[in-house]
Amino acid sequence: MKDNRPIPKEIGRANIHDLSILWQDGHQSVYSARYLRMRCPCAGCVDEWTGRRVLKSADVSEDISPSSLEVVGRYALRVHWSDGHSHGIYTFESLRNLCLCDACKSSLQEFEHST
């Protein structure tokens, strides 16, 4: 049985503000730091009971950047942000799903139309 979980080959910065992941399948994802910070999955940013996002756009600086990155086990990434926040654990699967490149957006649209 083949494992289809997304696995990063390289994780780093694309520039001072953005994050880059080269996936094992050769796909390259580049994420705006603010885009990722606004999607933090931690209980302080998302209500655990309702799933409603409680983090407000006004609470995240336009120039937010990752201070450091930490791989969690074999499944996730913890980002230590320049605003001091570091509670969110972004699974590799969720990061791959958050990719906004044209190829990923096309695949998502194709999937949504086929269901």
Name residues whose C-beta falls within 8 Å of residue 55's C-beta, 6 or more positions apart in sequence. Answer: 38, 40, 44, 45, 46
Confidence at residue 111, expressed as pLDDT on a 0 to 100 scale = 45
Pinpoint the alpha helices (H) of 10-91: 33-38
Q: Which of 32-36, 46-50, 62-66, 107-111 has the lowest mean pLDDT?
A: 107-111
Mean pLDDT of 87-96: 96
Q: Encode pLDDT of 94-103 as tens digits.
A: 999 999 988 8
Does domain 8-114 fall under CATH 3.20.20.70? My reply is no
Instruction: Please determine, for residue 80, whether its predicted confidence score (pLDDT) is greater than 60.
Output: yes
Residue 113 has pLDDT above 70, yes or no: no
pLDDT in tens, 3-27: 688 999 999 998 888 999 999 999 9
Neighbour-count burial of 58, counting CB atoms closer than 10 A to its CB (0-12 exposed, 13-18 middle, 19+ buried):
exposed
